[in-house]
Amino acid sequence: MISGGTSGIGLAIAQRFVTEGAHVFIFGRRQDTLDEAAQVIGANVTAIRADASRLEDLDRVADAVRSTKGRVDVVVSNAGFTEQVPLRDITEEHYDRTFNLMAKGPLFLVQKMLPMMGRGGSIILVSSAMHYMGLANHSTYAATKAAVRSYVRTWAAEFKDSGIRANLLSPGPVDTPIMDAQATTPEEAAALRKMYATYTPMLRLGRPEELANAALFLASDESSFMTGSDMVVDGGVSNV
């Protein structure tokens, strides 16, 4: 199960999992992007129109998994967005939109998938290296990423007798449509990409496929002794 599986990191994870033999469920808010993603992924995909911040939609997602497969082995909570707002300009609407999608959404997605998970199950919350950093104008975004870091620590303790693992995946700057969403023109988007690449010790943006490789590791038995951990795949940006 992959939330936000229609583009960027989520889509790359879905593609990689299918290549490895999985059947993936993806969901997102827009039918057109769902249709496009399902076409790109090809076989073994079920696309569901749903909003990760709405509990009634998550219930429908859970019902679809239950009626189609009856179980889920891996949950990837990836849905998110970046909206840079200085503290003085933060509104209640911005705060609620950010926390509903990226803090409330992951918790209730996992809650609703949990009854269908068994021993060997893997929960992966996609966070951001930003929860280690202090970057201006990201008060709410970074706070939600710190929240999901706390979730996996708590769940590692809570699930210790269940055989289910919970880990975090923290990307740095990755070349995805989120970059374009932060700009108003193609020129601004290009400048933003250049700025992030220059800021990153590896002097480039990450590729969605690189995060998909990390997610596959966390989903598989190759990471069987990891839980409550944070896998940081950020080109060194949070360390230098």
Euclidean distance between CA atoms 119 and 7, whole angstroms? 30
| ∠ Cα 123 77 139 (to 5°) | 120
CB-CB neighbours of 153 under 10 Å: 16
Q: First-to-last CA distance in the chain? A: 34
Q: Are 64 and 48 a contacting pair, CB within 8 Å?
A: yes
Q: What are phi and psi of 199, to 5 degrees?
A: -75, -20
141 is an active site residue: yes
Q: Which of 141, 151, 196, 199 is catalytic?
A: 141
Euclidean distance between CA atoms 175 and 171, whole angstroms? 11
Residues across the chain: 240
Nearest by Cα to 108 from 68, 71, 79: 79
Q: Strand 122-126's sheet: what is its strand order? A: 45-49, 24-28, 2-3, 74-77, 122-126, 165-171, 230-233
Residues identified as active-site: 141
